[in-house]
Amino acid sequence: MTQTNTTGKNKKAMRVAIVSNGKKQSRRVASKLFAIFKEDKDFYLTKKDPDVVISIGGDGMLLSAFHMYERNLDTVRFVGVHTGHLGFYTDYRDFEIDKLVDNLRSDKGDKASYPILKVKITLDDGKVINLRALNESSIKRIEKTMVADVRVSDVILERFRGDGLSVSTPTGSTAYNKSLGGALLYPTIEAMQLAEISSLNNRVYRTLGSSIVVPKKDKIEIKPTRQGIYTISVDNKTMHYKNLSKVEYRIDSKKISFVATPSHTSFWERVTDAFIGDLDS
Ligand code: NAP
Ligand code: MN
């Protein structure tokens, strides 16, 4: 699909996929973008093997977009448009569509890439399920206290007792991990963070109490010591297992890439904007 653009040079049309949540405002933005791209020879609208995926909605929608295209991580870059306030995975507000189109038109392929999590679930019969997480993956036991041995690269760290544990990516550190009292990690740091969910600590039971930040070379393994129903979340999805043997977490060899336009906002700006707000008020 080679097209001649306005400058007269041969330029390959950018293959663009648009995904949107069901909200009225998101659908409005999506139709506007569809209309622009349909008429523009610099862009080619497609759901299959896109160069760029535009996610319209919030950070939650970007999680869905990531999972729709997680098999294309080597070639795809994401852009987020937020139809509310500015999010962590979203660089554009809904009134900045023209700016987004201009930035994509002058795009040179620059990207900002961030680590994601590899989740390996092993069942009692030896069956293995491999998943990827952009924010985090958690393991919980709902009906009784979860008792599990936690290993970091084969060192037994602790026998955990409590509601559960969460392992987050750097970009996921501002999500569930933050509610659990975990630290915010700068998104390019190649590490994952293990955070406790309501650990039991008394004279008999002891856990670390704080979250830990684990480097790329290490693996986190969580092995429940009791039979039961375990709930494993991966971003916005939840699964239940009654024959779970263990869950292992690593930093994945692949990363998620975003289009690095001038609108790719600084992480610290996002942090203060999202959690502190206007300092003058
Ligand atoms: P949701 O309950 O609709 O969204 C949870 C909130 O987290 C939304 O406000 C969402 O922003 C925000 N969020 C998502 N990713 C974020 C990130 N990386 N940094 C900062 N905020 C982020 O659920 P959802 O939309 O399906 O998203 C699933 C995520 O919710 C999970 O990955 C988990 O991190 C988070 N969660 C948090 C808690 C908690 O804090 N107690 C509990 C369960 C799940 P938008 O409004 O822009 O979508
Ligand atoms: Mn949401």
Residues 126-153: tens digit of each pLDDT: 999 999 999 999 999 989 999 999 999 9
Is residue 174 marked as binding?
A: yes
Residue 116 near residue 187, CB atoms below 8 Å: no
pLDDT of residue 281: 58
pLDDT at 8 over 70: no
pLDDT at 5 over 70: no
Is residue 175 marked as binding?
A: yes
pLDDT of residue 81: 96
Q: What average pLDDT does range 5-24 have in this prediction?
A: 81
Q: What average pLDDT does range 174-197 have in this prediction?
A: 98
Residue 169 near residue 133, CB atoms below 8 Å: yes
pLDDT at 1 over 70: no
Per-residue pLDDT of 155-185, as tens digits, reads 999 999 999 999 999 999 999 999 999 999 9
Per-residue pLDDT of 68-118, as tens digits, reads 999 999 999 999 999 987 789 999 999 999 999 999 999 999 999 999 999
Ligand in closest contact with the CA of 88: 1
240: amino acid identity, one letter:
H
Query: pLDDT: is 78 or 269 the higher one?
Result: 78
Task: With cut-offs at 50, 70 and 90, classify the pLDDT of residue 154.
Answer: confident
pLDDT at 16 over 50: yes
Per-residue pLDDT of 209-245, as tens digits, reads 999 999 999 999 999 999 999 999 999 999 999 999 9
Q: Give phi and psi for 158, each to the nearest 5.
A: -170, 160
Is residue 236 marked as binding?
A: no
pLDDT of residue 10: 58
Q: Give phi and psi for 62, each to the nearest 5.
A: -65, -35
pLDDT of residue 93: 92
From 59, 91, 235, 252, active-site residue: 59
Task: With cut-offs at 50, 70 and 90, classify the pLDDT of residue 11.
Answer: confident
Nearest CA, atom 18, ligand 1: 172
**Lowest mean pLDDT across 49-53, 183-187, 197-201, 259-263:** 259-263
Percent of the chain with pLDDT over 70: 96
Mean pLDDT taken over the chain:
94
Domains of the chain as residue ranges with CATH:
14-110+260-276 (3.40.50.10330), 116-254 (2.60.200.30)
DSSP character for 63? H
Torsion angle, CA of 233/239/242/243, rounded to 10 degrees? -80
Pocket test for ligand 1, best of 61, 193, 236 (most atoms within 8 A of CB): 236
DSSP-based three-state secondary structure for 36: helix
Ligand in closest contact with the CA of 275: 1
Which segments of the chain does DSSP mark as H helices, in order?
Answer: 24-38, 59-68, 97-105, 176-179, 267-275
Distance between Cα 263 and ligand 1 center (Å)? 22
Distance between Cα 44 and ligand 2 center (Å)? 29
Pocket test for ligand 1, best of 138, 176, 275 (most atoms within 8 A of CB): 176
Nearest CA, atom 21, ligand 1: 175
User: Among this protein's residues, is 91 annotated catalytic?
Assistant: no
pLDDT of residue 263: 75
Instruction: List all residues whose CB is within 6 A of at least one atom of ligand 1.
Output: 58-60, 63, 87-88, 135-136, 171-172, 174-176, 179, 235-236
What is the rounded distance in angstroms from the CA atom of residue 86 to the CA atom of residue 270? 8
- Maximum C-alpha span of the chain: 76
